[in-house]
């Protein structure tokens, strides 16, 4: 079966509304020229730019994504954003368990699994991020770490429907460092994750769950990464901030 490839840009805490406007003014006319018949393109702006980004991208092929979401629909959760509020804005995908949430803000697997459940139940598609630190890789613990993160992150989901879950393998040592995992390193972990998903949900569903790679993806390395059989797309941080660079990444032949 022909592969569908996902290209998700994570703006992190960049591009407020005025920068978002100039970004989309450059990005949208060009993205409409790219053959997206087998590609999904999404952008995760910061929360404050989401409503504005919705207005600008309405009617375009760009899917709106969020960078996090609360596990609850509403209530006394100061500083959090409800998945239902995101849905109301037109958000479709939510990044959860990003390494910056885990390592800077102390989010644990315990918290992330609740967020995954809340987002899933709201009808949005979680993009669950997993990935080892350099130290964990050096100690030979990569598979142990990512399998714990995956199993725990999904443990509150009673069932998973096709098209309702995405996994992103993002080795912490590759995020924002300019040192990407080699295609072989990425494929090794992706195929491990695929097998793990198959043991949880069966082979057929596991095959249909996109596994994205993230960590210093650029226009220069995308072609080699996307060729790997278990790399179903990419989560792009730094390079997605520049519309021309992100367009080059999205335009890769698949
Ligand atoms: C990310 O933040 O998800 C990411 C992969 O960042 P970068 O592409 O900058 O390494």
Q: What is the pLDDT along the chain (254 residues), one digit of tens a residue?
A: 678 999 999 999 999 999 999 999 999 999 999 999 999 999 999 999 999 999 999 999 999 999 999 999 999 999 999 999 999 999 999 999 999 999 999 999 999 999 999 999 999 999 999 999 999 999 999 999 999 999 999 999 988 999 999 999 999 999 999 999 999 999 999 999 999 999 999 999 999 999 999 999 999 999 999 999 999 999 999 999 999 999 999 999 99
**Burial level of 66, CB count in 10 A (0-12/13-18/19+)?**
buried
75 Cα: distance to centroid of ligand 1 (angstroms): 31
How many Å apart are CA 109 and CA 62, to the nearest integer? 30
216 Cα: distance to centroid of ligand 1 (angstroms): 6
Query: Which residue's C-alpha comes closest to atom 7 of ligand 1?
Result: 237
Q: Phi and psi (nearest 5°) for 126? A: -70, 140
So what's the pLDDT on residue 78? 98
Query: Which residue's C-alpha comes closest to atom 1 of ligand 1?
Result: 237
Strands of the chain, DSSP E: 5-10, 39-44, 63-66, 91-96, 125-130, 166-169, 211-214, 233-236
Ligand 1 atom with the shortest distance to the CA of 238: 9
CA angle 210, 211, 214 (to 5 degrees): 130
174 Cα: distance to centroid of ligand 1 (angstroms): 8
Q: Which residues are catalytic?
A: 98, 170
Task: Note whether 30 and 247 are within 8 A (CB).
Answer: yes
Ligand 1 atom with the shortest distance to the CA of 216: 10
Query: Which residue's C-alpha comes closest to atom 6 of ligand 1?
Result: 237
Q: DSSP assignment, residue 209?
A: S
For residue 64, the cross-strand partners are 43, 91
How many Å apart are CA 97 and CA 128, to the nearest integer? 6
Ligand 1 atom with the shortest distance to the CA of 98: 3
User: Please, what's the largest Cα pairwise distance for the chain?
Assistant: 48
Sign of CA pseudo-dihedral 101, 137, 193, 110: negative
180 Cα: distance to centroid of ligand 1 (angstroms): 10
For residue 44, the cross-strand partners are 10
**Burial level of 210, CB count in 10 A (0-12/13-18/19+)?**
buried
| Residue the block writes with tokens 């849905």 | 87
How many Å apart are CA 154 and CA 156, to the nearest integer? 6
- Residue 241's nearest CA partner among 217, 220, 205, 210 is 217
Per-state percent for the chain, helix, strand, coil, to nearest 5: 45, 15, 40
Residues with CB under 6 A from ligand 1: 10, 170, 175-176, 214-217, 235-239
3-state secondary structure at position 169: strand
Residue among 214, 233, 248 whose CB has most ligand 1 atoms within 8 A, to mutate: 214
CB atoms within 10 A of CB 107: 18
Query: Which residue's C-alpha comes closest to atom 4 of ligand 1?
Result: 237
So what's the pLDDT on residue 2? 75
Ligand 1 atom with the shortest distance to the CA of 174: 10
So what's the pLDDT on residue 1? 62
- pTM value? 0.97
Q: CB neighbours of 29 closer than 8 A, spacing ≥ 6?
A: none
3-state secondary structure at position 38: coil
So what's the pLDDT on residue 3? 83
59 Cα: distance to centroid of ligand 1 (angstroms): 27
Query: Which residue's C-alpha comes closest to atom 2 of ligand 1?
Result: 237
């Amino acid at each position: 079966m022909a592969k569908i490839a996902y290209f998700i840009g994570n703006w992190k805490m960049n591009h407020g509304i005025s920068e978002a406007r100039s970004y989309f003014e450059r990005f949208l006319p060009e993205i409409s020229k790219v053959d997206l018949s087998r590609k999904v393109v999404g952008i995760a702006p910061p929360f404050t730019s989401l409503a504005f980004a919705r207005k600008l991208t309405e009617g375009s092929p760009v899917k709106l994504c969020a960078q996090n979401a609360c596990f609850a629909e509403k209530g006394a959760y100061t500083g959090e954003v409800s998945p239902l509020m995101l849905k109301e804005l037109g958000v479709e995908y939510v990044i959860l368990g990003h390494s910056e949430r885990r390592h800077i803000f102390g989010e644990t697997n315990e918290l992330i699994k609740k967020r995954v459940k809340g987002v899933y139940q709201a009808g949005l598609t979680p993009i669950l991020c997993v990935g080892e630190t350099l130290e964990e890789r050096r100690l030979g613990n990569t598979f142990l770490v990512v399998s714990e993160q995956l199993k725990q992150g999904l443990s509150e989901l009673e069932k998973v429907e096709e098209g309702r879950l995405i996994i992103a393998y993002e080795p912490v040592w590759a995020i924002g460092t300019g040192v990407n995992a080699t295609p072989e390193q990425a494929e090794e972990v992706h195929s491990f994750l695929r097998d793990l998903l198959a043991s949880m949900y069966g082979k057929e569903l596991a095959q249909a769950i996109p596994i994205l790679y993230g960590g210093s993806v650029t226009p220069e390395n995308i072609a080699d990464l996307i060729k790997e059989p278990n790399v179903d797309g990419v989560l792009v941080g730094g390079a997605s901030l520049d519309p021309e660079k992100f367009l080059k990444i999205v335009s890769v032949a698949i």
